[in-house]
């Protein structure tokens, strides 16, 4: 994982469900992550996938990723080039899935971040600087095991390094 | 140390006494995937370079596209069939039913720790198990190692008093609760149900309540173990099971307590597009909301008691000609019971149609996908925008009774 992340904000509201992130109508594309990623967040903002640039951030309110356990939701966000997801709070399964597949997720006060703002994130300290508004906020630190998994690049990579939960 | 029921079950699987907030590795009794999440799990297991730990306790359910509606899905099914066959895992093929119904009917036991790559895995909490949903990679880990890391959740005690009045269903209990605490009101937490109201609920109703705890963000929902569960398991599986009557210790520590008086509940619905947007059906009835489709089915509302409740209302009547009625038994076993009881005849003669046991319409895959501007009253658990295949449609969630009554009226009514 990169230590410093820089990119633009794409702002979403509260309760962004995994159905909005990864619509069920594309269920048949789940074995083709690249194709599926062409529909990332489509039902929340049909223009998102055209606007997003590598390293940009998805920023949202409360309960991001609520609903289904589909890991394809964080997978296609990552595949679309997003550098991290920042939200006031996350649904449990989405948060865990994101860490497991190596997509940085940060629980942080996003109320003063708007679409188009440029952010500079220190992934290690959790400090999020809003360069456009000259404000900053600090993310809630990850628990020990989650930090280790994310640093390894995901759970699969962590297991390959010998982690078996002993 | 006095323990909640969730702390007790996790302790029994972690080899030590745990309390809320602890991070532990727990032994997993059963792990499963479905056809939407399974292919990714199989890929990750292979990439980890692992096989399956105790394959006879790992399950592959083909239920979301049941039967397959697209060639890509048929290919995904083949991946799961081949993997189950080569590892000795249990395969539940298309038409057998929804994973959560089958886990409850055939496999789960009280006190077990069950994980599944489907968010409604929490359903089995109705049998007094710790059951929780995860993503494909976590389940790959659980299938390969037989263990999974967990943070022991804080518990919210939900005390149910009294008995449900006529016309009010288990669905109304959980919808009312979610309306009270919001769609994120129990995030990371356990909802532990108790009180005399639980004793008055059938086991199927308890499954319905636990099925939807995830809609409040909960990690799991759990009911105390009693003789009713023993009777249910014996009836469904044709043999007796012996297990401890697990319940929380007196004086266990809860984050908060919510008390619901069942006698005072009214029929409610979750209005579009969120599960905590709860309205009384008696109020919605006045808004004259025309319904294009009624859907009775799913892991929330497709059990035999649900179909019976709906059929009693439909018997001898015809549904409104401008409304479609889709009925989907939650499993093959439910389908056979409905056939024996004459319910399938009632649904068909009333103008409805029956689709293959599975998840189809609820997840917008097949069997009743909605079109632009359409309104559906469903017995399912989610009404998110786009859930049933079209982001410009509108989904209301209510009980099977409300669904049946609304199909007759052609608009949303209270049963």
What pLDDT, in 10s, does the model give residues B196-243? 999 999 999 999 999 999 999 999 999 999 999 999 999 999 999 999
Contact B34, B50 (CB under 8 A): no
Task: State the average pLDDT for chain A.
Answer: 95
Element (H, E) at B194: strand B190-194
Domain B5-262 has CATH 3.30.499.10: yes
Q: Where are the domains of chain A?
A: 4-160
Distance from C-alpha of A149 to C-alpha of A21, rounded to nearest angstrom: 23
Cβ distance of A66 and B387 shorter than 8 Å: no
At A46 the three-state DSSP class reads coil
CA dihedral B151, B141, A21, A34 (to 10 degrees): 160
Q: Which residue on chain A is closest to B145 by alpha carbon?
A: A164
The Cα–Cα gap between B110 and B100 comes to: 15
Residue B113 main-chain phi, psi, to 5 deg: -115, 115
Residue A46 dihedral angles phi and psi, to the nearest 5°: -60, -20
Q: What tens digit of pLDDT does each residue of A10-59 get?
A: 999 999 999 999 999 999 999 999 999 999 999 999 999 999 999 999 99
SS3 category, B292: coil
Per-residue pLDDT band for B79 (boundaries 50, 70, 90) equals very high
- Contact criterion met (CB < 8 Å) for B365 and A27: yes
Residue B242: φ, ψ to 5°: -110, 125
Interatomic CA distance for residues B180 and B170, integer angstroms: 16
pLDDT digits (tens, 9 = 90+) for B368-393: 999 999 999 999 999 999 999 999 99
Q: Looking at CA atoms only, how far is residue A20 from chain B in angstroms?
A: 7
- Taking residues A95-105, what's their average pLDDT? 96
pLDDT of residue A165: 63
Which range is least confidently modeled, A140-154, B327-341, B386-400?
A140-154
The strand pairing partners of B58, in sequence order, are B31
Q: How many CB pairs under 8 A join A and B?
A: 143
pLDDT band at residue A1 using 50, 70 and 90 as cut-offs: low
Longest dimension (CA), chain B: 61
Report residue A164 as tokens. 């078996």
Give, in order, the Cα–Cα distances in Å from A103 to each of A74, A99, B288: 7, 6, 46
pTM above threshold 0.80:
yes
Q: Would an 8 Å CB–CB cutoff place B187 in contact with chain A?
A: yes
Span B268-409: which CATH code?
A: 3.30.499.10
* Furthest C-alpha separation in chain A: 46
A94 to chain B, minimum CA–CA distance in Å? 8
Mutation target for A interface from B26, B83, B151, B184: give the one with most A CBs within 10 A: B184
* Closest C-alpha among A79, A97, A84 to residue A10: A84
Determine which of B15, B79, B135 to mutate to test the interface with A (most A C-beta atoms within 10 Å). Answer: B135
Inter-residue contact B105 to B236 (CB < 8 Å) = yes
**A101-143 pLDDT, tens digit each:** 999 999 999 999 999 999 999 988 999 999 999 999 999 999 8
pLDDT at A3: 84
Measured between CA atoms, how close is B349 to chain A, in angstroms?
A: 31
Interface test with B, best of A16, A34, A63, A69 (most B CBs within 10 A): A69
Helices (H), chain A: 18-21, 33-37, 48-51, 72-79, 92-100, 144-152, 155-160
Distance from CA of B75 to the nearest CA of A (A): 9
Adjacency order of strands within the sheet including B268-270: B278-280, B268-270, B394-397, B375-378, B293-296, B324-327, B353-354
- Report chain A residues whose CB lies below 8 A from the CB of B369: 25
Q: Which residues pair with B311 in a beta bridge?
A: none
Q: How much of chain B exceeds pLDDT 70, in percent?
A: 100
ipTM over 0.90: yes
List B residues 35-94 in contact with A (Cβ-Cβ < 8 A). 36-37, 39-40, 44, 47-50, 64-65, 69-70, 72-73, 75-76, 79
Mutate to test the interface with B, among A18, A22, A30, A65 (most CBs of B within 10 A): A30
For residues A134 and A120, what is the distance between their CA atoms, to the nearest angstrom? 11
Each residue's pLDDT tens digit, B264-311: 999 999 999 999 999 999 999 999 999 999 999 999 999 999 999 999
Contact: A66, B118; criterion CB under 8 Å: no
User: Is residue A2's pLDDT more than 80?
Assistant: no
- Residues 3-42, chain B: which have Cβ within 8 Å of A? 23, 25, 36-37, 39-40
Instruction: Inspect the interface and report whether the beta carbons of A101 and B149 lie closer than 8 Å.
Output: no
B105-141 confidence digits (pLDDT tens): 999 999 999 999 999 999 999 999 999 999 999 999 9
Is A27 at the interface with chain B, CB within 8 A?
Answer: yes
| The predicted structure's pLDDT at residue B177 | 98
Ranges assigned E (strand) in chain A? 4-11, 57-60, 84-87, 105-107, 118-122, 127-130, 135-138
Number of Cβ within 10 Å of residue B385's Cβ equals 20
Provide the pLDDT for residue A166.
56
Which residues on B lie below 8 Å from A91 (Cβ)? 184, 187, 217
- The beta-carbon neighbor of B137 closest among A17, A28, A101 is A101
- Closest-CA distance, B293 to chain A, in angstroms, reads 18
Angle of helix A92-100 relative to helix A144-152, nearest 10 degrees, comes to 40
| Chain-centroid distance, C-alpha B403 | 17
CA-wise closest residue to B221 among B9, B3, B1: B9
**Cβ contact B65:B366 at 8 Å:** yes
The DSSP element (H or E) to which B270 belongs, if any, is strand B268-270
pLDDT of residue A143: 85
Enumerate residues 56 to 95 of chain A having a beta carbon within 8 A of any beta carbon in chain B.
Answer: 62-63, 66-72, 89, 91-93
Beta bridge partners of B221: B191
Please state which architecture CATH assigns to domain A4-160: Alpha-Beta Barrel (3.20)
CA angle centred on B279, ends B266 and A21, rounded to 5°: 130
Determine the length of chain A: 166
Residue matched to tokens 């509260």: A14
Please tell me which residue of chain B has the smallest CA distance to A43.
B391
Nearest CA to CA, how far is A131 from chain B (Å)?
31
Do residue B384 and residue A17 have CB atoms under 8 angstroms apart?
yes
Query: What pLDDT sits at residue A44?
Result: 96
* C-alpha separations of B183 from A93, A107, B31, B186, B214 in Å: 14, 18, 26, 8, 8
Q: Where are the domains of chain B?
A: 5-262, 268-409
- The fraction of chain B above a pLDDT of 90, given in percent, is 99
Q: What per-residue confidence (pLDDT) applies to B143?
A: 98
């Amino acid at each position: 994982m990169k230590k410093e992340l820089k990119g633009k904000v794409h702002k979403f509201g509260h309760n962004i469900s995994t159905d909005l992130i990864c619509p069920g109508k594309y269920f048949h594309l789940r074995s083709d992550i690249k194709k599926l990623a062409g529909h990332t967040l489509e039902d929340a903002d049909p223009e998102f996938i055209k606007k997003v640039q590598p390293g940009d951030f998805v920023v949202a309110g409360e309960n991001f990723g609520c609903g289904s356990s589909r890991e394809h939701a964080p997978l296609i966000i990552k595949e679309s080039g997003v550098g991290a997801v920042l939200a006031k709070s996350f649904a449990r399964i989405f948060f865990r899935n994101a860490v497991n597949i190596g997509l940085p997720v940060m629980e942080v006060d996003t109320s003063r971040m708007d679409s188009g703002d440029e952010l500079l994130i220190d992934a290690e300290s959790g400090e999020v600087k809003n360069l456009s508004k000259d404000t900053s906020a600090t993310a809630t630190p990850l628990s020990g095991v989650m930090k280790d998994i994310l640093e390894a690049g995901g759970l699969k990579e962590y297991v390959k390094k010998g982690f078996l939960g002993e | 140390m006095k323990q909640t029921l969730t702390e007790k079950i996790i302790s029994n699987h972690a080899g030590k006494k745990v309390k809320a907030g602890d991070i532990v590795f727990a032994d997993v009794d059963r792990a499963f995937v479905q056809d939407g999440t399974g292919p990714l799990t199989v890929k990750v297991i292979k990439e980890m370079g692992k096989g399956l730990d105790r394959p006879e306790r790992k399950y592959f359910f083909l239920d979301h596209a049941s039967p397959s509606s697209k060639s890509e899905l048929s290919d995904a099914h083949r991946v799961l069939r081949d993997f189950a066959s080569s590892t000795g895992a249990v395969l539940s093929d298309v038409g057998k039913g929804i994973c959560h119904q089958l886990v409850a009917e055939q496999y789960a036991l009280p006190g077990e720790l069950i994980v599944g790559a489907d968010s409604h895995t929490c359903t089995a909490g109705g049998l007094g198990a710790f059951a929780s949903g995860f993503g494909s990679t976590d389940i790959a880990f659980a299938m390969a190692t037989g263990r999974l890391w967990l943070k022991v959740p804080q518990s919210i005690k939900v005390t149910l008093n009294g008995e449900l009045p006529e016309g009010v269903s288990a669905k109304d209990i959980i919808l009312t609760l979610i309306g009270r605490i919001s769609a994120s009101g129990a995030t990371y937490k356990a909802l532990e149900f108790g009180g005399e109201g639980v004793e008055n609920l059938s086991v199927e109703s308890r499954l319905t309540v636990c099925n939807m705890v995830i809609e409040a963000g909960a990690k799991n929902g759990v009911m105390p173990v009693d003789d009713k569960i023993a009777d249910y398991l014996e009836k469904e599986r044709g043999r007796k099971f012996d297990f401890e009557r697990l319940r929380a210790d007196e004086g266990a520590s809860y984050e908060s307590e919510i008390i619901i008086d069942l006698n005072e509940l009214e029929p409610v619905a979750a209005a579009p597009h969120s599960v905590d947007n709860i309205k009384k059906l008696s109020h919605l009835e006045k808004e004259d909301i025309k319904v294009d489709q009624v859907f009775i089915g799913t892991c929330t509302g497709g059990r035999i008691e649900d179909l019976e409740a709906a059929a009693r209302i439909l018997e001898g009547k015809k549904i409104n000609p401008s409304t479609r009625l889709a009925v989907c038994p939650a499993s093959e076993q439910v389908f056979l019971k409905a056939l024996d009881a004459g319910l399938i005849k009632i649904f068909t003669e009333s103008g409805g149609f029956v689709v293959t046991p599975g998840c189809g319409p609820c997840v917008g895959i097949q069997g009743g996908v909605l079109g632009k501007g359409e309104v559906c009253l469903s017995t399912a658990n989610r009404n998110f925008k786009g859930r049933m295949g079209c982001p410009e449609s509108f989904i209301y969630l209510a009980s099977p009774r409300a669904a049946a009554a609304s199909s007759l009226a052609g608009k949303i009514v209270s049963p």
